Amino acid sequence: MSIILLLIRKIVFIILSFILYLFVLYLFPYPFSLINVFFAIATMHLFLNESFAVVWYILLVHFFVELYSTQPFGVIVFSAVISVLIMLWLYQHVFTNKSWYTAAGLVFCTLLIFRILYLVALFILSLFGYATMFSFSSIYYSFAWEICLTTVCSIVSHLILTKSFAELQRDRVRYI
């Protein structure tokens, strides 16, 4: 029973974070509508839980995103999963603490890797005719804004959540 309740809680959390993403996307003015809520939440999730649950979270929310995207199915999911696995590695080996600058660094690196993988995947698919190539110059600004604003958002959320969660005030990660 407790497992079922836990599962329901996780599903509700995923749906609510997707609705939050839509809220930011539709109601915030440009360029704030580009804030990638999922990666900001994923970073806090990683700091609080330090488990692979963050990979499941990213996989599922980006599966939802794929349902509303015109890009070939799989591009977003693969890019997101690979980038969050790299985020876990960075957290374990590079940024080994839970400070606000770690949150910023993790979000910055993860989003940068996510968008690079995304463009590479689209480029490869376009070679096989599954996608149409387009001008990159029109999207550089969007990606740059997305990365910068999401980084700022993660710093702000970290500073706010530090007041409520003692776990975020620890200097080192648990397994070290």
Partner 1 sequence: MYKIRRKTCILFLSIAAAVVIFHNLGWFASVEEVVRIVINPASDRLYQISTERVRKQRFSSFSELEQAYYNLEKDHVKNTIDYTKLLLLKEENDNLRKQLRYTTSSGVQYVGARVIGRDIEPIGSSIVINKGESSGLLPHYPVITHEGVLVGVVEQVHKHTALVRMINDNQSKIAATIINKKKSLGLVEGGFGISVHMNFIPQNEQIHIGDTVITSGLSEYIPHGLLIGFIEAVQKETYQPFQEAVINPIVPFDSIRLVSVAVPADKE
Question: Which residues here bind partner 1, judged by CB under 8 A?
Answer: 15, 18-19, 22-23, 25-27, 34, 50-52, 55, 59, 63-71, 73-74, 76-78, 81-82, 85, 88-89, 92, 131-132, 134-135, 138-139, 142-143, 145-146, 174-175
Decide whether 131 or 155 has the Cβ nearer to partner 1.
131
Considering the complex, state which of residue 163 and residue 175 has its C-beta at the smaller distance from partner 1.
Answer: 175
How near is the Cβ of 163 to partner 1 at its closest, in Å?
25
**HEC assignment per residue over the chain:** CHHHHHHHHHHHHHHHHHHHHHHHHHHCCCCHHHCCHHHHHHHHHHHHHCCCHHHHHHHHHHHHHHHCCCCCCCHHHHHHHHHHHHHHHHHHHCCCCCCHHHHHHHHHHHHHHHHHHHHHHHHHHHHCCCCCCCCCHHHHHHHHHHHHHHHHHHHHHHHHHHHHCHHHHCCCCCCC
Please identify, using beta-carbon distances, which residue of 13 and 63 lies nearer to partner 1. 63
Q: CB of 5: closest distance to partner 1 in angstroms?
A: 19
